Structure 1
Amino acid sequence: MRIRLDLAYDGTDFHGWAAQPGLRTVQGELSDALATVLRVPSVAVVCAGRTDAGVHARGQVVHADLDGLEPAAVEGLLRRLNGRLPADVRVRRVAAAPAGFDARFGALWRRYAYRIADTPAVVDPLTRGHVLAWPRSLDLDAMNAASAVLVGRHDFASFCKQREGATTIRTLLELSWARERSGLLVGTVRADAFCHSMVRSLVGCLIAVGEGRRPVAWAEDILRAEVRDPSVAVVHAHGLTLEEVAYPLDDELAARAEQTRARRVADE
């Protein structure tokens, strides 16, 4: 049986999602918890988005294939897992996955939020692990103007840490900034997929525009160069949170996963 797990975690004390020998990771904790409660040697888990070290999640989605699990036992798995997991990881929902569901390849898009406190009045010590405290005020209009030219299907090589043989072409569906009533600046970034450090590099570029160090047109210049530019800072991970992953209707899941796999193979 394939199950879907909806997951939230505080990434502060994790070395990212992906399991690594000798390091504490979200994948490692979840796999160990599943293996313990199911009394099996190991359980492989696949996520929608592999978050980097220090990045948080409210809406991570995971699937796992479990042998011998009765449908009636799925509901009880939620309580048992949360009883075994550490406090900085919570499973919010467990359900039998519909036919064709794949947490990674079936996703339509992933949505992240990046939170910045750019005035002393907004800086809150209680949220310092989830909000970037920036020492200079940022121009919301300039950041949105620069963001607009980045939306669409582009080669984001200028904003990614490249892996050999992997494509950096992505479709950025949304990139916008808004101020909450509290004064907190929140960036919304939504795309079909992201390459390594892409969101934090985009934010670093836009902060430079927002504080007036660079003109609005600089963001497009960086994008068109399609070469990693050291002048674009990769901002701290702790301001970034994976908020939501969207999937098609159940009867379209298998086709979406097949389409995504085919495209990834072609791009690579």
Structure 2
Amino acid sequence: MRIALFITCLADALFPDVGRATVTVLERLGHTVEFPRDQTCCGQMHVNTGYQEQALPLVQRFADTFAPYDAVVAPSGSCVGSVRHQHAVVADRFGTPVLRQQVAAVAAKTHELSELLVDVLGVTDVGAYFPHRVTYHPTCHSLRMLRVGDKPLQLLRAVQALDLVELPAADQCCGFGGTFAIKNVDTSSAMLADKMRHVTGTGAEICTAGDSSCLMHIGGGLSRLRTGVKTVHLAQILAATRDEPMVLAAGGQDAGVHAGPEAVA
């Protein structure tokens, strides 16, 4: 199976360790992951802010770039949701019949990491080791748009030494929502406060999720309050092993978390 990594803008620019961790997990399972260098933004931010037609070249590029592969994986429910749903909307409104067919074909084989592992590869135990108390936040797009269900939880339950604790009101939005957090600051902050209260109430050391965007939002709040709770992407937890453990650096966000022997405390 030819698997391509769609890195996403946020992982590319701010959280490259998340992309590396995704590749690490799949290579450990015996798969070769390719990185198409022609990939760009999926266009989600354009569509979400009302610029659907301007997203058309990005939709076309995505379809062209990932057409040759058997599967496409991304460490983001949000971006995969855009590919699987928004791309069809853009292609229908502004594209050609050929583009519509291309978009449908690529969307059908584009998966969020937990979907690829559980549904496509049939794996829940990836050989991970993570001796920490962890709670899981299901991000809105993965929960409501992709309907990944408990797939991330299945993967976390199989991680050796991990103590998984349930997050109260887990299905409530963290308040990020891309530009929502900028345009509706007060509402976003109130939603974040609720989410942080629930996270800290679990007594967890780590809050994990499948989207770096939500973790950036939650982690920023937890860091400012000096709670000591860190945010770590699901891929990074799955990439950690006994031989290459994850060392949690000082600070609250997963930008300060590195996997592998080169990590520093």
Greater Rg over alpha carbons, structure: 1
- Fold agreement, TM-score > 0.5: no
Q: Which has the higher strand share?
A: 1
- What is the TM-score with the length of structure 2 in the denominator? 0.29
Q: Which has the higher helix share?
A: 2
Question: Whose relative contact order is higher, 1 or 2, with alpha carbons under 8 Å and at least 6 apart?
Answer: 1
- What is the TM-score with the length of structure 1 in the denominator? 0.29
